[in-house]
Amino acid sequence: MKRMTSWAWVGLVIILLLGASARFYQLGEKSLWSDEIATIATSMGNSIDPEAFALRGERFDPPSPVPASVYLAKATQSHGAGNWGQTAQVLKANVHPPLFFMLMNGWIHQVGLDPGTLRIPAALFGLLSVGMMFGLALKLADWDPLVFQGARREGFALLASAMMALSAYQVDHAQDARQYTLLIVLALSACWLAVSLVQRQGQSVWRWVLLALLLATGLYTQYFFGLFCALIVWLLLVFGGWQKRIWLGTVACGGLVLLLLLPWLPVFREQLVFLKLAGHYTAGLWNPVQLPEKLWRIFCEFFLPENKAGKLVPLLIFLAWGAGFGRHRAQQKLSEAVTGERKATVLSPVLMLILLWLLVLVGGQIGLDLLKDSHTATIRRYLLLASPAVYLLMAYALCAVFRAFSGSRTRWIPLMVTGALLTLMLGDTWHYLYRDHTSSDEFKQVARQINREGQAQDLVLVSKTGAMAVGLAFYLKSETRLWGIDVPSASTLSPGSEMVKRLTTVLGQLPASAGVWLAFSHTAPSTRNRLSQLLTDLGYQAGSEVKVPGVRLTRWLKSPDSRRSSKNSEAAFTTRF
């Protein structure tokens, strides 16, 4: 960075200001969502996973309705600041390593549970990733000076960091109290160190030690970081030319990483047992028919997840790259024939590293999906570590287009394409912040409806308990009567089941003027139908309904002419089902 020009410094400052503005814009406006509720609970040393309770022979939900404050305490009860042992104990029945939750334990005890302050660490890591992207891009440009000559060196770094700063995909994750932006920072830092070690032919002990610390930190943050560790090993060995010093350094680095992970090994074994018993899965992208389409969607999603017209921009860039490469290659061969000096081609070390990055991360995810026989398409978070490679690839392509069209009458083409891409990304981020910023506000919107129209004696039933019940408790009045209905299987609401009997008893004891609010996950239509029918048989009628992303809320009131007894109602329910 000592060789940066003044215009590059100005550009970097502008990019960082834009990135900060997007990431900290109304950080506390949207309500907490399920994963953020889980962050709070785990960080405080609590569990809100009904399956974890069931495996211990316990019940997450109380036997009868309780005030919302009781559910809130399940997540927010403090076991003391810095009580990492309690956090580790909770994680034995979980799917995550501990580092981020330990960091958030101290943060929550210092600043509280306001969504705006809760998300500050993720936003800061997100902003730091923009600066780290700039530093990594400069390091890669210095690795291949023939390709990135003159202004293209700094232009490559500015383009890559601008895409990181303006991507709505990155802004979304930076406004989420989860560990994803921390992973990006660790990945970019580790890649910078690995490239530095290759350039120095492994001659730097402190860099090897720091690299081991970064890789271990990543594994203590999320297990999927193991794929990125594989990328780093490949980078060191392949690009290091299998030199003895690099080979020995890689082995020593790996040994230090394993040594640092040993304290966590007992808990990790418990997690493997939990995964086997609970049957959790890793959502992925594998589908043999739709895979090409999904891969392209992944690529576009890192840039323009909402802007359909903008999805053509990456394709336009590569078409321009292909068109200019033929012309550039012809000029290059002519120059080599005259000077006798061989110049770099499109398959430079930088491009090879970028493609390797995508191959390992995306291909590794597909492999995990095949191994776990997972056929869903939840890709946003599991492929986050692949996103920096996509920005680097696009910046590389744009620099190649600039090089191919430099000094010609068509030099306006790369400027136009670059401007179009950044403008569309900026527009998409604006769309996310000003229009879709509250798209995950289901808990706040649902609670607002209940608080506004509900009565003191009303009952709120939540079909998908755990994070959903606790999430509502964050925004409901503390005295609101709340009860989670954990339905792990269809038999839970079968005729004569314990759950149906308890529901019939509780609903039959409600005052005639009391209403029942059913808050359902959109993924539980059968549960909704069964509970709706039970309420109908008890003499209730469906009233107002609110649909928000992830939740469907319906209010039920006693019909004026209802004369059915609880016994007859349960018999009617049994006859239907």
Has residue 194 been placed in a domain? no
Has residue 353 been placed in a domain? yes
Clarify whether residues 306 and 407 are in a common domain.
yes
Provide the domain count of the chain.
2
Has residue 225 been placed in a domain? no
Query: What CA–CA distance (Å, rounded) separates 269 from 267?
Result: 5
Query: What CA–CA distance (Å, rounded) separates 92 from 53?
Result: 12
Last residue of a domain, one of 438, 463, 484: 438
Clarify whether residues 511 and 483 are in a common domain.
yes
Q: Residue 477: is its pLDDT beyond 80?
A: yes
Number of other residues whose CB lies within 10 A of the CB of residue 413: 18
Has residue 292 been placed in a domain? yes
Give the model confidence (pLDDT) of 489-507 as tens digits. Answer: 767 777 778 888 888 888 8
Q: Contact 88/54 with Cβ under 8 angstroms?
A: no
Q: Which of 120-129, 234-243, 278-287, 494-503 has the highest mean pLDDT?
A: 120-129
Predicted structure pTM score = 0.88
Clarify whether residues 528 and 408 are in a common domain.
no
Clarify whether residues 505 and 431 are in a common domain.
no
Clarify whether residues 409 and 479 are in a common domain.
no
Percentage of the chain exceeding pLDDT 90:
40
Last residue of a domain, one of 402, 419, 438: 438
Query: What CA–CA distance (Å, rounded) separates 161 from 300?
Result: 17
User: Which has more confidence, 119 or 306?
Assistant: 119
Please compute, for residue 432, the number of CA atoms within 13 A of its CA located in the half-sphere on the CB side. 26
Has residue 108 been placed in a domain? no
- Which band of pLDDT confidence, cut at 50, 70 and 90, is reported for residue 148? confident
Token pair belonging to 244 = 């003895």
Q: Which residue has the tokens 């002519």?
A: 334
For residue 574, the model assigns a pLDDT of 47
Q: Domain with 496 in it: what CATH number?
A: 3.40.50
Give the model confidence (pLDDT) of 316-351 as tens digits. Answer: 666 666 665 665 566 566 666 666 665 545 467 888
Sheet holding 66-67, edge to edge: 66-67, 481-484, 459-462, 516-521, 551-558, 540-548
Task: Using the Cα atoms of residue 263, residue 266, residue 268 and residue 271 in order, give the sign of their dihedral.
Answer: negative
Q: Residue 383: which of 163, 219, 224 has the closest Cα?
A: 224
Tell me the average pLDDT across 179-190: 96
Tell me the average pLDDT across 114-131: 96
Query: What CA–CA distance (Å, rounded) separates 35 from 382?
Result: 14
Report which secondary-structure segment, H or E, holds 296.
helix 291-301
Give the model confidence (pLDDT) of 368-402 as tens digits. Answer: 766 655 444 445 676 789 889 989 988 888 887 77
**Residue span of the structural domain in which 544 resides:** 442-576
User: Which residue type, as a one-letter code, is found at position 233?
Assistant: V
Clarify whether residues 309 and 372 are in a common domain.
yes
Clarify whether residues 425 and 475 are in a common domain.
no
For residue 533, the model assigns a pLDDT of 84
Clarify whether residues 475 and 509 are in a common domain.
yes
Between vectors from CA 131 to CA 250 and to CA 175, what angle results, nearest 5°?
A: 105
Clarify whether residues 295 and 416 are in a common domain.
yes
Query: What CA–CA distance (Å, rounded) separates 211 from 194?
Result: 7
Clarify whether residues 334 and 429 are in a common domain.
yes
Clarify whether residues 432 and 449 are in a common domain.
no
Clarify whether residues 351 and 412 are in a common domain.
yes
Last residue of a domain, one of 409, 438, 467: 438
DSSP annotation of 435? T
Has residue 374 been placed in a domain? yes
Q: Contact 358/231 with Cβ under 8 angstroms?
A: no
Stretch among 159-168, 340-349, 545-554 having the lowest mean pLDDT: 340-349
Q: Residue 567: is its pLDDT beyond 50?
A: no
Tell me the average pLDDT across 197-209: 91
DSSP string, 230-280: HHHHHHHHHHTTT-HHHHHHHHHHHHHHHHHHGGGHHHHHHHHHHHHHH--
Has residue 384 been placed in a domain? yes
Has residue 302 been placed in a domain? yes
Q: Contact 311/298 with Cβ under 8 angstroms?
A: no
Report which secondary-structure segment, H or E, holds 481.
strand 481-484
Query: What CA–CA distance (Å, rounded) separates 516 from 64?
Result: 14
Q: Residue 214: which of 243, 240, 183 has the closest Cα?
A: 183
For residue 41, the model assigns a pLDDT of 95
Query: What CA–CA distance (Å, rounded) separates 497 from 491?
Result: 8
For residue 311, the model assigns a pLDDT of 63
User: Which residue type, as a one-letter code, is found at position 433?
Assistant: L
